Structure 1
Amino acid sequence: MAAERAKARAVVIGAGPAGLMAADVLSAAGHAVLLADAKPSVARKFLMAGKSGLNLTKDEPFDVFLFAYAEAAPMLRPMLEQFGPQQVQGWAEALGQQMFTGSSGRVFPVAMKASPLLRAWLARLVAQGVEMRTRWRWTGGLQSPRFATPQGEMMPAADVVVLACGGASWARLGSDGDWACYMAPDQIAPFQPANMGFHVAWSAHMQPHFGQPVKNVILSAGPDQIRAEFVLSHRGVEGGGIYAVSRALRDGAMLTVDLMPDLTTDQIRSRLANAPRKQSLSNRLRKVLRDPVKQALVMECARPLPDDPAPLLKALPLPLTSPYPLDEAISTAGGLRFAALDDGLMLKTHPGVFAAGEMLDWEAPTGGYLLTACLATGKWAGESASRFLTTPASF
């Protein structure tokens, strides 16, 4: 079939949070926008993130918030200064979503789900004239993008293109990383899993505890430490506490767990000593720990038990083997290098082509950091693309 041509001044590829934000900014500025996504519906990963409570951002001092982005913080700083935690909350409220802040500083819509926010956002985009196309898979071409669609190949005319193609995890939701093949190899940092679980070769004795949380512990890995909880699974360990230290674990650090963070080693030793000496050490541990899951972990990871197990209870090593697969990670590290982009997130090699969201080479822990940076970079790229349309000679 001969290639058909449709018309739109701005083409946004990828309808996740970053792409939706870029389309919002461009259409609000009066530009015609075509928003294309490969899946049958938009924002699938965004909706999945909201199933357990949509954590949009985190309310904490800006420098603390920025620190979560590690080496990418200097590049992201201006974008997050413009559209950080306070601005994200104001944006959601303008879309009719009342917000609340939890005890940990995490910020959620009162509705907790992503769907009410998404419906209101899509209604605004439609009112601003955004033309949405689903089942449009980008098949190459940067300044002149091509799409495989149910109607055949489409090549919409574009004065600017915003790439918001996502990372390389959760391919079934649209983030498969396939876009990297359309970039020069030196523009791409290799993809790695981020915010993921880790395999452990458990013995059969651990089976009764699979699915159980390990609560009120401190996890340590390299320079990272967090008081949180995690979950035991038949494959290993996962959950918020593990995700928070997953980068250090991925880079080779050992994981240790403080099972009794409110007691010192000497206090634990004293409690063990006060138990009747005729009892076995495992029975004394059971009475001191008062948690069958924690006791099971000690017996799994620390046998034969030393005569003085108190230090182990403060730093129990967990024998991790490997991270869960890339496609199962909540997010990914790697992607389009900032060195390939100018300050406006435009590709240096392709004027008029901008990039945003998780496809950029940054990573952050869960807790609102991921969504905030996707929204902030989408807004930044959209504004840069709008300026390019208005005054291309200034670029």
Structure 2
Amino acid sequence: MAVGLVIGGGPAGLMAAEAMADAGLKVMVAEAKPSLGRKLLMAGKSGLNLTKDEPLPAFLDAYREAASTLSPMLDAFGPDAVQAWAQGLGQDLFTGTTGRVFPKVMKASPLLRAWQARLRDKGVDLRTRWRWTDWSSPKSGPNSDPASRTTLHFETPDGPQDITPDVTVLALGGASWPRLGSDGIWARHFDIAPFRPANVGLSIRWSDHMQAQFGQPLKSIALSAGDEVSRGECTITRRGLEGAGIYALSHILRDGTALHMDLVPDIPLDRLRAKLAKRRRGDSLASHLRRAIRLDPAKRALLMEFGRPLPDDIAPLLKALPIPHDGAMPMEQAISTAGGLRLSDLDEGLMLRDRPGTFAAGEMLDWEAPTGGYLLTACLATGLWAGRAAARYAQR
């Protein structure tokens, strides 16, 4: 029986392990942390957004430059398949008004427990506190042996251990949330695209006057950077702005692109001017903005923070308030990362071109997507794809 090794116990790694077990391989999963799926469990604290229920062409647009490479994988395991997979693990699902799909229990632990039980029933050996440290094998070349196999070295609770599998799937995550296991240490073994924070908050140096607004949400706004616009919400925090609206633009903002905020996106400029022209005698500006356009305290604070000295015609400023910023927050505060193994360095089965028999999946690949179910779906899809390809390679 061929032996398959998976390094990394997150969604991509577990999906690869299940695919190899289903193909008849003897499979071991090696996870450095004391338990599996730690980042998945953290995502579950906010409801576990599994996927997004939308047509595949629109779904693929979220992956931008990587869409063409990921297309066959997401076609094989897209939003519908993710929902069927979760239901097969006993999870009842619901779809929100924006198309985001969640388990009804709004957490990840029941799904993860059921998944681990199913993997064990299929004979998958789940090892924790096994940290991969190095490997030894001649890389491919004109004089290499095509049948040679890689030996992988681990630090384990029982001391150093070596494994020489027929195939290996690496699913080591990106470089965000290092305390959960995605520390990017594995990158020292490869020539990678540099890691960059993705789905991350925006650093802003507030004046003391903004302290009263920390923790306040900004709703019904539109954020614009470059040619892209986000209608998602965000929150004013001590460190800057955080939330889905900002995360959707972080791939642009991290490079220093200017940010503008439309505080009243549902009111056209001409209509806004007309509303603002009807000011009651004796009304302060704050009262006038509250009465005329229902501008809440957080938005009024932003206007005073970045709009002063206010012009006589403040309507254009309300529609495009500049938000000075210092770029993305640190990578360890990001939900995910861009960078990693270049897709051009892997073949169509996600096998490393210079190391036959070694495959890669999940966030350690150089792709990124916004939150909203896209991240988890692609991790599952690439894990399944790599696992199936690894099984075919082993069986040849």
Contact 1:8/1:157 (CA < 8 Å) preserved in 2?
A: no
Distance 1:255 1:221 in 2: 5
Give the corresponding residue for 2:236.
232
Instruction: Show CA shifts across 1:236-277 (max 9, x none).
Output: 000111001111111332111111111111111111110125
1:264 aligns with 2:272: no
1:197 aligns with 2:201: yes
Equivalent of 1:52, from 46, 55, 61? Answer: 46
Contact 1:256/1:317 (CA < 8 Å) preserved in 2?
A: yes
Letter in 2 for 1:103: T
Percent of pairs identical after alignment?
61
Aligned residues: 382
Letter in 2 for 1:341: L
Deviation at 1:29, TM superposition (A): 1.6
TM-score when normalising by structure 2: 0.94
1:288 aligns with 2:295: no
Give the corresponding residue for 2:88.
94
Distance 2:327 2:254 in 1: 8
Instruction: Show CA shifts across 1:322-368 (max 9, x none).
Output: 21101110000000001111100001111100000000000000000
Deviation at 1:8, TM superposition (A): 7.8
Give the corresponding residue for 2:4.
10
1:173 aligns with 2:180: yes
Letter in 2 for 1:232: I
Equivalent of 1:317, from 291, 314, 322? Answer: 322
Deviation at 1:99, TM superposition (A): 1.3
Letter in 1 for 2:359: F
Give the corresponding residue for 1:134.
128
1:149 aligns with 2:156: yes
Deviation at 1:288, TM superposition (A): 2.9
Secondary structure, aligned partner of 1:251:
coil
Q: For structure 1, which segment, 161-170 or 25-34, has the greater mean C-alpha deviation from structure 2 after superposition?
A: 25-34
Distance 2:27 2:292 in 1: 63
Deviation at 1:284, TM superposition (A): 2.3
Secondary structure, aligned partner of 1:252:
coil
Distance 1:343 1:196 in 2: 30
Instruction: Show CA shifts across 1:167-210 (max 9, x none).
Output: 00000000000101112x2xx10000000001111111110110
Letter in 1 for 2:35: S
Instruction: Show CA shifts across 1:206-242 (max 9, x none).
Output: 1011001011111111121121210000110001110
Deviation at 1:278, TM superposition (A): 4.1
Secondary structure, aligned partner of 1:366:
coil
Q: For structure 1, which segment, 316-325 or 11-20, has the greater mean C-alpha deviation from structure 2 after superposition?
A: 316-325
Equivalent of 1:217, from 209, 215, 221? Answer: 221
Give the corresponding residue for 1:378.
383
Secondary structure, aligned partner of 2:49:
coil
Distance 1:224 1:24 in 2: 39
Deviation at 1:282, TM superposition (A): 4.2
Secondary structure, aligned partner of 1:154:
strand
Equivalent of 2:393, from 383, 388, 391? Answer: 388
Letter in 2 for 1:333: A
Deviation at 1:287, TM superposition (A): 2.9
Contact 1:8/1:156 (CA < 8 Å) preserved in 2?
A: no
Contact 1:55/1:108 (CA < 8 Å) preserved in 2?
A: yes
Secondary structure, aligned partner of 1:63:
helix
1:329 aligns with 2:334: yes
1:300 aligns with 2:305: yes
Distance 1:317 1:283 in 2: 23
Secondary structure, aligned partner of 1:25:
helix
Give the corresponding residue for 1:348.
353
Letter in 2 for 1:334: G
Letter in 1 for 2:381: A
Distance 1:343 1:8 in 2: 22
Secondary structure, aligned partner of 2:233:
strand
Distance 1:42 1:8 in 2: 24
TM-score when normalising by structure 1: 0.95
Letter in 2 for 1:377: T
1:339 aligns with 2:333: no
Distance 2:161 2:293 in 1: 64
1:368 aligns with 2:373: yes
Give the corresponding residue for 1:22.
16
RMSD across aligned positions (CA): 1.3
Equivalent of 2:105, from 105, 111, 114? Answer: 111
Give the corresponding residue for 1:3.
none
Distance 1:336 1:164 in 2: 11
Contact 2:255/2:327 (CA < 8 Å) preserved in 1?
A: no
Contact 1:214/1:232 (CA < 8 Å) preserved in 2?
A: yes
Deviation at 1:42, TM superposition (A): 0.5
Distance 1:29 1:227 in 2: 44
Distance 2:228 2:103 in 1: 29
Distance 2:117 2:89 in 1: 10
Contact 1:169/1:327 (CA < 8 Å) preserved in 2?
A: yes
Distance 1:280 1:229 in 2: 28
